[in-house]
A = this chain, B = another copy of it.
Amino acid sequence: MQQVYVGKGRALDPEKYFIVIMNQIGNGLSSSSHTQNTSNFPNVQIGDDVRAQHHLLTEKFAINSLALVVGGSMGAQQSYEWAVRYPGMVKRAAPIAGTAKTTPYNTIFTQAIIDSINSDPAWQGGRYAVSIDVQLGLQRLAKLFTLMGWSAEFFNKERWRALGFSSMDEFITDFMIAYFAPMDPNNLLCMAKKWQQADVSNGRGDNLQAVLSGIKAKVFVLSIESDLLFPPADCEAEHKMIPGSEHHVLQTTDGHFAIFGTDAAFVEQVDGHLKTLLVM
């Protein structure tokens, strides 16, 4: 995230702003089944991430006002949660390629992710010896993200060439499968379940309209034209519930994973919108 979105002259300019980048709980860097060496890591919610981040910002850094909360995918889920949970603290929010409440379609996708791991007999209910034991499950997971994380056009236009690969098979094997292969299966399950359960209206009356209409921050909803997981229509529906918000659709053929910075033109669009938002 830092390399893609932060820099001098960028919207997120460390010479102008005190920028804090968080790792999410369960991802193997923050507290997770991997770091705690347990197959019995608790079921974590997006709200747990945001509460922990709030502790850090207020107690460690004594920050009580945030110029901007921004994040992509599960970071977008956190951005929405921040704006809902701490309305007096968040001046602006920019959820990118994510929703405040997980859609039915993403419930199906995250369940397929969960099943790809726990259908591997080597997973053993989470009590595998080393993560590589679950390599077949991890490969299935990588292939699901290959199908849904990019877009048809990404493959049909051979956009993987721009990432330095000479064939689609090489890209799938040496990038997608290789990317997930060293990850811890229980960590991935923890994050997939957190994604699946994400819903800012949970515990707040289950009324999404009412919860989103209470947001005080200036919100730019940023969706991705070719995103198979968070299609613009889903983001548009939530934008309409947030007073004074704007919805901008980012143009790229790279689908959801454009958030990783594979398309320079996409990153420029994000930068432009964040600059506009930051002077509002």
Q: Residues of A at under 8 Å CB distance from B?
A: 103-105, 107-109, 111-112, 115, 119, 136, 140, 143-144, 146-148, 151-156, 158, 168, 172, 228-229, 231, 233-234
Contacts and interface: CB of A to CB of B under 8 A. Distances in A.
Given A108-B147, A109-B147, A147-B148, A153 B231 contact: yes
7 contacts: A104-B156, A105-B156, A112-B143, A115-B140, A119-B136, A147-B148, A152-B229
Nearest to A107: B168
Given A108-B155, A152-B228, A155-B108, A119 B140 contact: yes
Please list the 10 inter-chain residue pairs (A to B) with the smallest Cβ-Cβ separation, ordered nearest first: A105-B152, A104-B155, A105-B155, A103-B156, A152-B231, A104-B156, A112-B143, A104-B168, A105-B156, A108-B147
Contacts of A107: 168
Nearest to A158: B104
Contacts of A115: 140, 143
A230 to B, nearest CB: 9
A151 B112 CA distance: 15
A151 B168 CA distance: 25
Contacts of A108: 143, 146-147, 155, 168, 172
Scoring A107, A108, A115, A119 by chain B CB atoms within 10 A of each residue's CB, the highest score goes to A108
A115 B144 CA distance: 12
Contacts of A143: 108, 111-112, 115
Contacts of A112: 143-144, 147
Given A105-B152, A115-B143, A153-B233, 18 more contacts: A103-B152, A104-B155, A104-B156, A105-B154, A105-B155, A105-B156, A108-B143, A109-B147, A111-B143, A112-B144, A115-B140, A119-B136, A147-B147, A152-B229, A152-B233, A152-B234, A153-B231, A228-B228
